[in-house]
Amino acid sequence: MKYISTRSKIKPITSAEAILQGLAPDGGLFVPEKIPKVKLDEIDALKEKSYEEISAWLLGKYLTDYTADELGECAELAYNWFDVHARVPVSILIQDPSNPVAPVGNMELWHGPTSAFKDVALQMLPHLMRMALQKVGETKKILILVATSGDTGKAALAGFADVPQTKIMVFYPEDGVSKIQRLQMVTQAGDNVNVTAVRGNFDDAQTGVKKIFGDKKIRAELDKLGVKLSSANSINWGRLVPQIAYYFSGYVELVKANQIQLGDKIIISVPTGNFGNILAAYYALKMGLPVKKLICASNMNNVLTEFFATGTYNRKREFYKTITPSMDILISSNLERLLYHESGGDFRQINRYMGELNSRGKYTVDKSLKSRLDKIFHAEYVSEDDTRLFIKRIYDSFKYLIDTHTAVSICALSKYSGRTNDLTPVLNASTASPYKFTGAVLEALEKSAEGVDDLDQLALLNKVTNSKIPKNLAALSAAQILHSDVCDKDEMPERVLKFAAK
């Protein structure tokens, strides 16, 4: 399997090269030349496999320049750290078949070392990169640059800390992440890590990082320092591909729990920001996983809801800071891959759309592309009040605690079934532990967290709900703060060069 760019005709490259480069030289994203197909009996056989085995199996479909042994090793090393044996368990929230509401399998993607779904990919990526360096005979150091809206940063730091031949630098919006997310990042140990706050929002940080990637002068200076840039953002193919696996495992979990039979179609709902997680679900669908609809759930930053409703993507709009900060995004980078595939690989068209997005802040897809998207996607956005309401409702009904992002996608689902009366069983992507967003979760449960310190909120939520505090979060109160750098977005290039030279 070779990889090509979404924006122009480039010489196809191997997956190891695509993973090391992150972004294509023309500014596009790497995509597989074609999407591999999977038959139902192959899905059936996954019932007997561990999560690690399912992961290695899925990776083998796309990363054909890695051996099965290498992929098995990557999966073992990545998921070793997860705090439950199932790695990605599915909790069934509605089991009563006479209940006129479809069963919801809540796929818990947050049992990794930082309690958010990004661990699933970011515990894997460093190992894929380390092996890729060997494969292409690269002797330079790789510098991973990350712009984060919160969870990516810590998950990437945890994945790359002290991995040989790598350095990692994380930029986060100074006021755009939760206190716990910030603490998780600024307490990260490791000789090869740097964490810097940017004055601005997530898009400022992400645009800054993208500019550095596109800047030939900076690249040349880094080259002199023996350093090559790469990304761990969800635009990197090595970030995306490990995520496809859990849609297969989640499906199989629903079969094993007797919620569906093999071959039955399901609905998948995903709380969406940069469009990476839901894009992985799209790849699973295209590969042959029986999926009827993908629900793209957004918060008040509803640029994607509007896009799927109208065909116009317009990033010129007010930016809201919400209780789902990991979805506070106006430019969903991975959407480009979807448009590429659904336009039948028409890179000229994609290039035009992305050019318009850059110059005019918006673009409109043509009618035939729009109608193809309509067949697969349904989009909804959710208010802050409804987000809190669903945390409370799910807790009251099932004594099951969800975080704000998970509440957005469950609420979007209920809006969808309200509109359509569709009772197809559901797999919901649950993306963070409720303990990462204690303030908003406590408020939703009508327990005042006002004036309570962030770390004390962990204990309070534990007391109120009697659920378990993830180990890594419980350890935060004793951890030392190691990073306090802050910069303006224009200063990002010089900060990068300084850290690269260190």
- Catalytic residue flag (residue 292): no
- Quick one: which of 234, 236, 249, 259 contacts ligand PLP (CB under 6 A)? 234
Least distance in angstroms from the C-beta of 431 to ligand PLP: 3
CA dihedral 86, 439, 426, 48 (to 10 degrees): 0
Should residue 154 be labelled a site residue for ligand PLP when binding is judged by CB under 6 A?
no
Stretch that binds ligand PLP, among 64-72, 138-146, 255-263, 265-273 (CB under 6 A): 265-273
The pattern of x and - marking residues 213 through 232 that bind ligand PLP according to CB under 6 A reads --------------------
Q: How far apart are the first and last CA of the chain?
A: 37
Closest CA to 453 of 476, 470, 434, 483: 476
Report the site for ligand PLP in 416-475 (rule: CB under 6 A): 431-432
Should residue 274 be labelled a site residue for ligand PLP when binding is judged by CB under 6 A?
yes
- Quick one: which of 21, 184, 299, 326 contacts ligand PLP (CB under 6 A)? 326
Least distance in angstroms from the C-beta of 287 to ligand PLP: 18
Pairing, β 291-298 against β 266-271? parallel
Q: Which of residues 414 and 430 has its CB atom nearest to ligand PLP in the complex?
A: 430
CA-CA distance, 301 to 324, in Å (whole number)? 10
Residue 87: strand, helix, or coil: coil
- Quick one: which of 255, 327, 335, 496 contacts ligand PLP (CB under 6 A)? 327
Cβ–Cβ under 8 Å, residues 40 and 289? no
Should residue 116 be labelled a site residue for ligand PLP when binding is judged by CB under 6 A?
yes
Q: Which of residues 5 and 277 has its CB atom nearest to ligand PLP in the complex?
A: 277
Should residue 333 be labelled a site residue for ligand PLP when binding is judged by CB under 6 A?
no
Least distance in angstroms from the C-beta of 73 to ligand PLP: 26
CA-CA distance, 87 to 339, in Å (whole number)? 31
Burial class of residue 217, CB neighbours in 10 A (0-12, 13-18, 19+): exposed
Stretch that binds ligand PLP, among 43-51, 114-122, 358-366, 476-484 (CB under 6 A): 114-122
Closest CA to 492 of 265, 173, 160, 181: 173
CA-CA distance, 455 to 179, in Å (whole number)? 9
In this structure, the number of other CB atoms found within 10 A of the CB of residue 72 comes to: 18
- Quick one: which of 61, 111, 118, 341 contacts ligand PLP (CB under 6 A)? 118
Q: How far is CA 330 from the centre of its chain?
A: 15
Pairing, β 227-231 against β 104-108? unpaired
* Per-residue DSSP letter, 7: S
Stretch that binds ligand PLP, among 19-27, 32-40, 272-280, 304-312 (CB under 6 A): 272-280
Should residue 328 be labelled a site residue for ligand PLP when binding is judged by CB under 6 A?
no
Should residue 336 be labelled a site residue for ligand PLP when binding is judged by CB under 6 A?
no
CA-CA distance, 235 to 297, in Å (whole number)? 20
CA-CA distance, 79 to 84, in Å (whole number)? 10
- Quick one: which of 111, 405, 489, 495 contacts ligand PLP (CB under 6 A)? 405
Applying CB under 6 A, what is the total number of residues that bind ligand PLP?
17
Closest CA to 406 of 270, 248, 295, 302: 270
Q: Which of residues 118 and 495 has its CB atom nearest to ligand PLP in the complex?
A: 118
User: Pick the catalytic residue: 118, 286, 293, 489?
Assistant: 118
Interface residues toward ligand PLP, by CB under 6 A? 116-118, 151, 234, 271-277, 326-327, 405, 431-432
Provide the annotated active-site residues: 118
